[in-house]
Structure 1
Amino acid sequence: MALLDEQDRVTGGFDTTGDPVLDLPKAHLHLHFTGSMRITTLRELAAEKGLRLPSALLEDWPPTLKATDERGWFRFQRLYDTARACVTTEADMRRIVREAAQDDAAEGSTWLEIQVDPTSYAPHVGGITPALEIVLDEARAASAEEGIGVAVIVAASRTRHPLDARTLARLAAQHAGDGPGEVVGFGLSNDERRGDTHAFGHAFRIARRAGLAAMPHAGELLGPEHVQDALDSLAPTRLGHGVRSTEDPEVLAEVVRRGIALEVCPGSNVALGVYSHLSEVPLRQLLQAGATVALGADDPLLFGSRLADQYVAAREVIGLSAAELGDLARGSFAASRAPEEVRQEAERRIAAWVAEQG
């Protein structure tokens, strides 16, 4: 791997070419649909549709971001909305799913759970049901052809009414399953400072009755009180992020006691200004507390770092050993909804990878 300069160490943009982490089997559990898009794909779609992209998505990519205040979040959301506006056809949606599967498979992932809010794409394809069905159909096709299982998490937005979340939960329930090309979980995303977490509890109850895992975001932009709110209101199976649970030992202990896995995205945390440096991300603290952790890339389109970068950051900046990276990979499968045969094969290959690293 190329020697890291200081900017690499801060942002997580590593050269992973030929790095051993590419051969480590991984499950990727925190990846947003639009945010998974290749920057080259976004530029091609914008050119095809005659849409103008801002400099932050052209010569100044990846953008300099900060979302710890309202102004910073607005800029992040504006860039995200700009990218989403380029996705206007079924072919565009299928391309995003397919390329996400290809990119993760190239980095050693054998299981991917991609998160989507079909509301955003419904106007272009005839409604939320066809929007979700397009994603599921392409996930099935990619699973059969790309060497990686692809499942789907349906996510509601905190910026919309909780009744909309109930509608999405019912839609997700209709497609619930535990294999590739099926809906395996229900999430809640967008700005943690918006909306009343408790008001989304009904939607999560609908999802749980259908056998779906509960996977809300909590504890990135807001602190441990927001994690506790999610624990009390949404009964999560996993938490998107959850890193700030470390700020309250009692909250962290409750997360561990309940066996709630945390989808930790170091590059995202730093890019959004939650931490100023990768070394500050409390990954080791979470592991030492006994938390199950699955590393994720969140939105590579805007953060400029992918899943392999998170593993390299864990090794190069946080100082985890090969054995500890193997434990992280095991944690990702333990927290996933992957079928048992996928988990067993991953365990065999992870053990072989750790042994090979010495």
Structure 2
Amino acid sequence: MMKYDTPHTEESLAAIAEMPKLELHLHHEGAAPPSFIRGLAKEKGLNLDGVFRSDGSYAFSGFEHFLSVYEAATTVLKTPEDYHRLTVALLEESASNGVIYTESFLSPDFCGGGDLGAWREYLAAIREAAELCERDIGITLRGIVTCVRHFGPDKAKKAARCAAETAGDFITGYGMGGDENRGSLKDFAYSFDMAREAGLQLTVHAGEWRGPREVAEAVDDLRVSRIGHGVRAAEDPALMDRLAENGICLEVCPGSNVALGVYHRLEAHPIETLRDRGVPITVSTDDPPFFHTTMRDEYVSLARTFGWQAEDFARLNATALAHAFCDEVTRDAIAKRLEAQ
């Protein structure tokens, strides 16, 4: 892509912030506004000591603590109705930041404990909320069923069964989040094979904490078409070339990476290195309220730090649309909305 020497004005940054956006890496529970979780806890009389700071934001230090706080916050989400309300809240927040299409990670472990019958009930509530939001505020949601790595391969098989049994025009993908430092990716190959056989598209969190080898193993052992984060691939030029040649898309979350200390500042983030090497990249928020970010913030921060212009963000959207886990009817409809801007 072109390099730009023209500094941004406040007007040009504002225009970039208002661009329509596509987001491919968003955790459903991780997108819950703190006020929503606190309010739900109050309604249910539940104690969430340690989950929030004095200013009301989520309280954590480091990746493992973040995971424990995340899971503690989900304990207030106990019914399909809770997930209906959560879905509306997160989609309203995303839409307010210009997102017109988003994919979120949905875990059967949190939605019914991996039981297929319960999962169907939770999913019906989530989908109903998504359809209401698409009608009323113009944001389209698709779901990626996600197992949790540190819950182990056996629970991953249950999640994959839930995914396979509900695959269709709304549940379009399967992936894995959780603690990247637990186990090996090949331990989860069976669940990914189940999802693939059901026609689901595949992604996996890799190359955030472990190095480039983990990214290569994601491709070799799980045969995914997208990788969540994947930023450590920038340490291996041959791997970057392989990702570029095979069109493996990275769901890059710069604000998340900085907030968790993968990189200490945005200037040190390798997103531009990956992009300039030809690796397909997209930009997402991951768990936005945890990391004090929004899609607007991500766009503006990248513009300020790397001098990216509207053309660069338009290409990001084009890449996200090309690699989105949706059917062609949906892809065409989103493309028309982007063209109309």
- TM-score norm. by structure 2 comes to 0.89
8 Å contact from structure 1 (residues 227, 242) kept in 2: yes
Pair 1:118-2:113 in alignment? no
Change (3 A) 1:229 1:333: same
Partner of 1:27: 22
Q: 1:52 aligns with which of 42, 47, 50?
A: 47
Change (3 A) 1:90 1:348: closer
Displacement of 1:348 after TM fit?
A: 5.2
Q: Deviations over 1:108-130 (max 9, x none)?
A: 22211111112123159973332
Partner of 1:206: 194
Displacement of 1:136 after TM fit?
A: 2.9
Partner of 2:86: 96
Q: 2:72 aligns with which of 78, 82, 88?
A: 82
8 Å contact from structure 2 (residues 256, 287) kept in 1: yes
8 Å contact from structure 2 (residues 52, 59) kept in 1: no
Q: Distance in 2 between matches of 1:288 and 1:65?
A: 34
Q: Distance in 2 between matches of 1:161 and 1:124?
A: 13
**What are the ranges of 5 or more consecutive residues in structure 1 without an aligned counterpart?**
1-14, 67-71, 354-358
Counterpart residue identity of residue 92, structure 2: Q
Partner of 1:253: 241
Displacement of 1:61 after TM fit?
A: 5.1
Q: 1:239 aligns with which of 217, 227, 231?
A: 227
Q: Deviations over 1:53-110 (max 9, x none)?
A: 34662424545755xxxxx333212211221112122221111111222222222222
Change (3 A) 1:142 1:350: closer
Aligned residue for 1:221, secondary structure, equals coil
Aligned residue for 2:63, secondary structure, equals helix
Q: Deviations over 1:126-157 (max 9, x none)?
A: 73332333323333333333311111000001
**What are the ranges of 5 or more consecutive residues in structure 2 without an aligned counterpart?**
1-9
8 Å contact from structure 1 (residues 24, 350) kept in 2: no
Q: Distance in 2 between matches of 1:127 and 1:317?
A: 45
Root-mean-square deviation over aligned CA pairs: 2.5
Q: Distance in 2 between matches of 1:22 and 1:343?
A: 23
Moved more, 245-254 or 115-124: 115-124
Pair 1:127-2:118 in alignment? yes
Partner of 2:176: 188
Partner of 1:315: 303
Displacement of 1:22 after TM fit?
A: 4.4
8 Å contact from structure 2 (residues 161, 194) kept in 1: yes
Change (3 A) 1:197 1:123: closer
Q: 2:321 aligns with which of 333, 346, 352?
A: 333
Displacement of 1:161 after TM fit?
A: 2.8
8 Å contact from structure 1 (residues 89, 124) kept in 2: no
- TM-score norm. by structure 1 comes to 0.85
